[in-house]
């Protein structure tokens, strides 16, 4: 299996403040990677650096894909009051440089947009204004927009943070299905849910604390969050905690 993303000794600063320091990380083609950690731990910064949205101060990022990257931003950054239909939102992914928001889409663009809406289960909402969508529907809409670029690598920033439990399950099931055809990198604060779905975990707290299987030692979890963390899933132990002391990441 080849590489999808290779990161070597990456550091990103906001002014004089380090957001992430000396991160080394490799993502294989077809992998489902979860990036977890506390608020301010650098998860979203790492994602944006991969996307090229923010510059690296040191280090390199290599993307092994000949197509565009798909990106699903945080729900909270989107304004649902804008007067636009669900289909029009997905079509914006196909917008050509220099064209206005609602012009210049081909029949192929519209077919692709509707196909991706069907893939995520919201084809019946194509004409609905986005203000009328539920949180889960809106999140799936953002995923459909990213898929309209036909990416081989899909990056998502907290895709379940603003949805209910039922929608959260649907989104994770959808991502598992999409992972059959593409590499997925998912940023989340939800340690339990992510660890049960992904193939690999990357734990960020300013630096890369751990990278490996989705089973963590208590020592890794404590280092990640800065204090002991007790994890309970419906009254039974969850596989995210493993009784071992290894796994600390070094470049």
pLDDT, tens digit (0-9, with 9 covering 90-100), for 151-184: 999 999 999 888 888 999 999 999 999 999 999 9
Pick 48 or 219 by higher pLDDT: 48
Kindly give the pairing relationship between strand 3-14 and strand 17-28: antiparallel
Helix (H, G, I), strand (E, B) or coil at 174: helix
Asked, for residue 240, whether it belongs to a domain, the answer is no
> Is residue 78 a contact partner of residue 142, using CB atoms and an 8 Å limit?
yes
pLDDT for the residue numbered 185 = 98
Pick 118 or 192 by higher pLDDT: 118
Asked, for residue 217, whether it belongs to a domain, the answer is yes
Work out the burial of residue 180: count CB atoms within 10 Å of its CB; fewer than 13 is exposed, 13-18 middle, 19 or more buried.
Answer: exposed
Average of per-residue pLDDT values in the chain: 86
pLDDT, tens digit (0-9, with 9 covering 90-100), for 206-247: 999 989 988 777 777 777 776 555 543 434 344 444 544 444
Asked, for residue 199, whether it belongs to a domain, the answer is yes
Asked, for residue 43, whether it belongs to a domain, the answer is yes
CA 14 to chain centre: 22
pLDDT, tens digit (0-9, with 9 covering 90-100), for 148-157: 999 999 999 9
pLDDT for the residue numbered 102 = 59
Question: Is residue 4 pLDDT above 70, yes or no?
Answer: yes
Asked, for residue 163, whether it belongs to a domain, the answer is yes
Domain count, the chain: 1
pLDDT for the residue numbered 234 = 38
- Radius of gyration, CA atoms only, the chain: 19
Residue 124 belongs to domain spanning: 3-225
CATH of the domain at 165: 3.40.50.300
CB atoms < 10 A from the CB of 41, how many? 23
Query: In what side-by-side order are the strands of the sheet with 32-36?
Result: 69-72, 153-157, 183-187, 32-36, 200-204, 208-212
Asked, for residue 203, whether it belongs to a domain, the answer is yes
């Amino acid at each position: 299996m080849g590489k999808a993303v290779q990161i070597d000794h990456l550091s990103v600063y906001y002014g004089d403040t380090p957001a992430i320091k000396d991160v080394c990380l490799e993502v294989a083609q077809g992998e489902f990677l979860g990036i977890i950690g506390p608020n301010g731990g650098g998860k979203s910064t790492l994602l944006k650096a991969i996307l090229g949205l923010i510059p690296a101060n040191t280090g390199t990022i290599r993307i092994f894909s000949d197509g565009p990257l798909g990106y699903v931003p945080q729900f909270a950054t989107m304004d649902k009051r804008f007067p636009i239909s669900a289909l029009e939102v997905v079509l914006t992914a196909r917008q050509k440089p220099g064209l206005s928001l609602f012009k210049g889409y081909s029949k192929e663009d519209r077919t692709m947009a509707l196909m991706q809406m069907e893939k995520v289960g919201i084809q019946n909402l194509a004409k609905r204004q986005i203000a009328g969508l539920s949180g889960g529907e809106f999140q799936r809409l953002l995923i459909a927009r990213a898929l309209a670029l036909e990416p081989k690598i899909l990056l998502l920033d907290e895709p379940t943070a603003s949805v209910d439990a039922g929608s959260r399950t649907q989104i994770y099931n959808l991502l598992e299905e999409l992972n059959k055809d593409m590499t997925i990198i998912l940023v989340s604060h939800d340690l339990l849910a992510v660890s049960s779905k992904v193939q690999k975990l990357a734990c960020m707290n300013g630096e890369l604390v751990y990278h490996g299987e989705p089973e963590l030692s208590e020592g890794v979890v404590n280092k990640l969050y800065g204090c002991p963390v007790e994890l309970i899933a419906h009254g039974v132990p969850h596989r995210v905690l493993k009784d071992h002391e290894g796994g600390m990441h070094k470049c």
